Amino acid sequence: MFTALFTAEYIARLVCVRRWRQYATSFFGVVDLLAVLPTYLALFVPGLNAFIDMRVLRLLRVFRVFKLTAYVTEYQSLARALTGSGRKILVFLSAVLMLVLVMGTLMYVVEGPDNGYTSIPTSVYWTISTVTTVGYGDITPKTDLGRLISSFMMLVGWGILAVPTGIMTAEMAMQRRLQAQLAPSTRSCHECLTEGHVADATFCFHCSARLPPYQQQGAMQSPEPPQASAATGTRGKS
């Protein structure tokens, strides 16, 4: 019944909009299609019954119902941080991959097939589960040297897990500082009285007149007391 309702809504949207192809290929258009298509495919192909769970994509409509699109700015900020730190994280993952391959090969040589390390890929699997501090326990070292290497890998895993967090935190802090610098301030142009210039602007974006130097709130120097000014003027005359 719900599938029929969503199908009728999807068809109604295609009929009502002017550019139905643009809606059908948009994000929510694809979501609406994937919310109803698996049910019909499962009627003709029994092997596709597992894809019926894709109907959970209907919950994305909650973003529209509860107006959660106001949080898109935070999502965009997180996306910019991921994009900015992408190369650093890629280099970090490459170093971890090399370490995993080396230590997995070493464990294969030390332990051997008799202790469960039947191949280098199996040893690499053990190394990954050990570095990520998961440790399923299906493969464990039996020799003293193997246990020493395993202990070293566990300690290294703690440090490895902290690196991506530090990279992301530094990138998000830099993005926040950049947004603060580019945020409009209360600076106004003395020629056209236009407000909203950024802190590092030199010219007015409306009339191109030169702006006065920007001074942060509280950073302006207090005027000289009248007594001091008077005294200074008296000394100058004398």
Are both 192 and 146 inside the same structural domain?
no
* Residue among 200, 194, 181, 115 at smallest CA distance from 149: 115
Q: What is the pLDDT of residue 7?
A: 86
Q: 88, exposed or middle or buried, with CB in 10 Å at 0-12, 13-18, 19+?
A: middle
The residues of the chain scoring below 50 in pLDDT are: 216-238
Q: What is the pLDDT of residue 199?
A: 67
Number of H helices, E strands in the chain: 9, 2
What DSSP state is assigned to residue 65? H
pTM of the model: 0.50
Taking residue 174's Cβ as centre, other Cβ atoms within 10 Å add up to 14
pLDDT tens string 17-67: 888 888 888 887 888 888 788 778 777 777 666 666 666 666 666 665 555
Q: 123, exposed or middle or buried, with CB in 10 Å at 0-12, 13-18, 19+?
A: buried
Tell me which residue has tokens 């992301």: 168
Q: How many domains does the chain have?
A: 3
Are both 149 and 93 inside the same structural domain?
yes
Q: What is the pLDDT of residue 55?
A: 67
Are both 59 and 91 inside the same structural domain?
no
What DSSP state is assigned to residue 69? G
Indicate left, alpha or beta for 171 from its phi (over 0: left) and psi (-120 to 50: alpha).
alpha
Q: What is the pLDDT of residue 180?
A: 63
Q: What is the pLDDT of residue 106?
A: 92
CATH number assigned to the domain comprising residue 166:
1.10.287.70
DSSP calls for 167-199: HHHHHHHHHHHHHHHHSEEEEE-TTT--EEEET
Backbone angles phi, psi at 234, to 5 degrees: -65, -40
Could you tell me how far CA 191 lies from the centroid of its own chain? 42
Are both 93 and 166 inside the same structural domain?
yes
Is residue 195 in a domain? yes
Q: What is the pLDDT of residue 230?
A: 44
Q: What is the pLDDT of residue 233?
A: 47
Are both 131 and 206 inside the same structural domain?
no
104: containing domain: 84-181
Report d(CA 120, CA 53) in Å as an integer: 37
* Residue among 189, 222, 219, 184 at smallest CA distance from 204: 189
